[in-house]
Amino acid sequence: MIHPRETFELFKKIASTCEGRRMIPQGAVVVAGVSGGIDSMLMLAFLDYYRSQHDFNLIACHLNHMIRGEDADLDEFLVESYCMEHTISYVSVRADVPKLADVWGVSLEQAGRKARRDTMVRIGIEYAGRAERYRIAFAHHMDDRAESILMHVGRGSGLAGLVGIRYVDGVFIRPLLDLRLKEIESAAAELCLPWREDETNRSDEFLRNRVRRHLIPAWRDVLGYDPVPSIVRLGDAAEGDEQALAQWADASYRDAILPDGKLSVSSLADHPPAITKRVLARYFDMSMAKHMVGATRDNSEEISIVGESQCRSVVRRSLSSTHLERLIDGIKKSVEGEGRERSFSLPGDVTARISNGRLFFIFAK
């Protein structure tokens, strides 16, 4: 396959990102999420080119959200036609996202994201089995990452939120994260790639669209420069700090965990609050996973990948900064002798208990 010079250089840039971040293991199955938009079509074209030089299997997956009627069907047809023309394995899945949003009690945007991820994971497992054998590629680019960081700032996110969209997050990879949207548009035009515009991208109903269409242009107009590279540099700095703190927290967790599976309060008190919060969040994560597995496997200590993943989402929703601050305060007072026996109510009928120098969680049956 021959590509114009400019696009070839861009593909080299994407390949450098893939290799530098070790995105695709040898012999893996790569499930590419392809909506039919310009960014996902360029990613598919790159992966089609890249697989000729590297040992991996490519499967394009299109999820029809059943939101845009005939337009959504045309998106599906475009992706299917491109895959047939280029001999790319293709899977199409339909999901009634509006109905799922009602059932899950979340926004359309959140429901679409969850449905997309769940679908891709299911296909990865179906074709490859173990998580080590498949990767799921999404076409997020640098502008998307800057938008995510600003959205997280607006929600009062911590350091992890400032990282924004990650290059590698478990089985999820983003090969285009070093590219600007204008680079993608230029390459797609040079390759004469087919693509379709999602009309919902122009709707201010969604927060991301408002950030893209109004907030970033206002920043550029007021301050006189393109904010995206600066915001992404902030994300890179936050990622390095977050990784260092995570390593510290991992070591602290190992120090704090006792033979009976509870946490040593005195050990927790020896660390800065930022580290103790991470230890508590991880301990809650693991405790919840064991509880969930125990509900389906009698007294089993095994933590399944699915169970642990589900628990991570529970942690993010439930252990807010307020809950963690209360636990930190309780640990401090316990060590100082002010109420060695303490209990804290947490969402989901969970109780945090400090007793005999130990902290643990009690889950309602």
User: Same structural domain for residues 61 and 125?
Assistant: yes
Which pTM was predicted?
Answer: 0.83
pLDDT score at 89 = 96
pLDDT score at 239 = 93
pLDDT score at 339 = 64
Q: What is the DSSP string of 15-55?
A: HHHHHHTT-S-TTEEEEEE--SSHHHHHHHHHHHHHTTTS-
229 domain-assigned: no
DSSP assignment letter at 338? S
Below-50 pLDDT ranges, the chain: 296-317
235 domain-assigned: no
pLDDT tens-digit readout, 82-113:
999 999 999 999 988 888 888 888 888 888 88
CATH number of the domain bearing residue 359: 3.30.465
246 domain-assigned: no
What is d(CA 145, CA 141) in angstroms, rounded to the nearest whole number? 6
Which residue range(s) make up the domain with 291?
257-363
Q: Name the nearest CA neighbour of 213 among 147, 168, 304.
A: 147
For the chain, count helices (H), then strands (E).
15, 10
Cα end-to-end distance, the chain, whole Å: 60
User: Same structural domain for residues 63 and 205?
Assistant: yes
What is d(CA 268, CA 103) in angstroms, rounded to the nearest whole number? 39
pLDDT tens-digit readout, 12-67:
999 999 999 999 999 999 999 999 999 999 999 999 999 999 999 999 999 988 88
Chain centre to alpha carbon of residue 23 = 15
What is d(CA 332, CA 335) in angstroms, rounded to the nearest whole number? 5
177 domain-assigned: yes
User: Same structural domain for residues 194 and 294?
Assistant: no
108 domain-assigned: yes
For residues 151 and 211, the answer to whether their CB atoms sit within 8 Å is yes
Do the strands 358-363 and 350-355 form a parallel or antiparallel pair, or are they unpaired? antiparallel
Residue 66 tokens read as 């059943």
Residue 44 tokens read as 């598919």
CATH number of the domain bearing residue 137: 3.40.50.620
144 domain-assigned: yes
Residue 326 tokens read as 């209360």
User: Same structural domain for residues 207 and 334?
Assistant: no
pLDDT score at 2 = 62
Q: Name residue, tokens 């400032």.
A: 162
Q: Name the nearest CA neighbour of 59 among 11, 91, 92, 93.
A: 91
Task: Give 183-219 as a 3 state SS string.
Answer: HHHHHHHHHCCCCCCCHHHHCCCCHHHHHHHHHHHHH
- What does the radius of gyration of the chain's CA atoms come to, in whole angstroms? 23
pLDDT score at 219 = 93
Residue 76 tokens read as 């599906």
User: Same structural domain for residues 25 and 160?
Assistant: yes
244 domain-assigned: no
What is d(CA 270, CA 264) in angstroms, rounded to the nearest whole number? 10
What is d(CA 168, CA 335) in angstroms, rounded to the nearest whole number? 39
Domain count, the chain: 2
User: Same structural domain for residues 355 and 262?
Assistant: yes
What is d(CA 348, CA 365) in angstroms, rounded to the nearest whole number? 11
User: Same structural domain for residues 169 and 117?
Assistant: yes
Instruction: State residue 319 phi and psi, 5-degree precision.
Output: -85, 80
